[in-house]
A and B are shown apart, each in its own frame.
Chain A
Amino acid sequence: MSVNVKSREEILEYLREVLVELFEVKPEQVVPEANLYEDLDIDSIDAVDLILKLKELTGRKIQPQQFKHVRTINDVIEAIQSVMAESPTA
């Protein structure tokens, strides 16, 4: 099984598409330092939808607690990377 490693840029690009599609944010607002809640107006319910959507990228179930400390786009990217780096579980 090949581990599907993606670069930060690829993840950011994917995130940008998803955030525009789900939350109507402007593409140029999706920068690593943007705060999800304050800058992008994404609330806790939105976060649930976001996590579900990210499953399509990672191909793996993401536990909400892995996203608990996520505040910025950069945090999301790191969380996705760590999910994808985990050895696939049965």
Chain B
Amino acid sequence: MSRIGRSINHVWRVFATGLVFVLFGLGALFISLTIFPLLRLSTLHADVARRRIQRGMQRTFRVYIELMRMLGIMTYELHGVERLREPGRLIVANHPTLIDVVMLVSLIPEVDCIVKRGLWRNPFLRWPVIWASYIPNSEGEELIERCAATLQRGHSLLVFPEGTRTVPGRPIRMQRGAAHIALAADADILPVTIDCDPPTLFKGNPWYRVPERPFHMKVTVGDPVSSSRFRREGEASTRAARRLTQWLLAYYGASEGEHSNQDQQRANSAASAAPIAPAVS
């Protein structure tokens, strides 16, 4: 592309990105006031409504992704995403960008999500999140219990173990919540890896600072892993949660450069405890 062509393309992508943000906000408002209430009224059964609304979320997010692709902001490729349809699994993913959740929800027919609890006070969005049975990000134990309960009912649940978007250049940090949830529900974990190149909409990057070329998102779904393989006979589950979290960190390639010495040592000892570490390649 010529220099002029590049700068026109750049201006276009700034405009298109802004447009998508506006459409996202207006669309959420419109759908929350029309389609979702109709879906809720379409049945007397709250659980049927939950499924219909979750499917509505999937289709809505699908539209946003296709819109971004057609506007020339992004391209994407998907690997193994049919595995996301298996219900009852804890789907975990790394979190490089703001649109990871849009991408993943667009690929999963029915999935529970953990959503900012502030939305339960939002006059427009509180009903959709209630009808969809999304889970508010409450405090520790209560959140773990709710998440484990939904998995035990056979629903899929999407969790970002980092708890927030990754700051580029810094090592991945993980909370142990995802491990606690998987162990409490005795659920299988389905790890998803998201690559975004060039990085965009990462933590601390304003939306108008678009990358030098359209970004390419690659979603790779790994093999499911049973949480029970991290348990050991006669041992506290707190230890299993640590082992599982170390496995996740290693899976997402962050076993080196931990945020503290202590974790570094733990990562090393987890890596040497080969029998529990499934091959990651």
Residues of A at the B interface (CB closer than 8 Å) are 21-25, 29, 41, 43-49
A45-B176 in contact given A23-B242, A24-B242, A24-B266 (Cβ < 8 Å): yes
User: Which residue of chain B is the closest to A25 with respect to CB atoms?
Assistant: B262
Overall SS of chain B's interface: helix
A43-B175 in contact given A22-B236, A24-B266 (Cβ < 8 Å): yes
How many chain B residues touch A (CB < 8 A): the figure is 18
B236 contact set on A, CB distance < 8 A: 21-22, 49
User: Which residue of chain A is the closest to B141 with respect to CB atoms?
Assistant: A48
Q: Of B144, B239, B260, B262, which contacts A45 at CB under 8 A? A: B144
- Total CB contacts across the A-B interface at under 8 A: 36
0/1 string, B241-281, CB within 8 A of A gives 1: 11000000000000000001011001000000000000000
B139 contact set on A, CB distance < 8 A: 44
A46 touches B238 (CB 8 A): yes
B237 contact set on A, CB distance < 8 A: 49
Residues of B at the A interface (CB closer than 8 Å) are 139-141, 144, 175-177, 180, 236-239, 241-242, 260, 262-263, 266
Bound form: Cα–Cα A23–B235 in Å:
11
User: Which residue of chain B is the closest to A46 with respect to CB atoms?
Assistant: B238
B263 touches A41 (CB 8 A): yes
A23 contact set on B, CB distance < 8 A: 238-239, 242
User: Which residue of chain B is the closest to A23 with respect to CB atoms?
Assistant: B238
Bound form: Cα–Cα A43–B17 in Å:
38
B249 to chain A, nearest CB (A): 13
B144 contact set on A, CB distance < 8 A: 45
Bound form: Cα–Cα A79–B118 in Å:
33
B242 contact set on A, CB distance < 8 A: 23-24
User: Which residue of chain B is the closest to A39 with respect to CB atoms?
Assistant: B262
B263 contact set on A, CB distance < 8 A: 41
Q: Of A29, A44, A49, which contacts B238 at CB under 8 A? A: A49
User: Which residue of chain A is the closest to B180 with respect to CB atoms?
Assistant: A45
Instruction: A43-B175, A44-B139, A45-B141 are known; give 11 further A-B pairs, CB within 8 A.
Output: A21-B236, A22-B238, A23-B242, A24-B242, A41-B262, A45-B144, A45-B176, A45-B177, A47-B140, A48-B140, A49-B238
Bound form: Cα–Cα A21–B242 in Å:
12
User: Which residue of chain B is the closest to A49 with respect to CB atoms?
Assistant: B238
Give me 26 A-to-B residue pairs in the complex whose CB atoms sit less than 8 angstroms apart, sorted by A's number: A22-B236, A22-B239, A23-B238, A23-B239, A23-B242, A24-B239, A24-B242, A29-B262, A41-B260, A41-B262, A41-B263, A43-B140, A43-B175, A43-B176, A44-B140, A44-B141, A45-B140, A45-B141, A45-B144, A45-B177, A45-B180, A45-B241, A47-B140, A48-B140, A48-B141, A49-B237
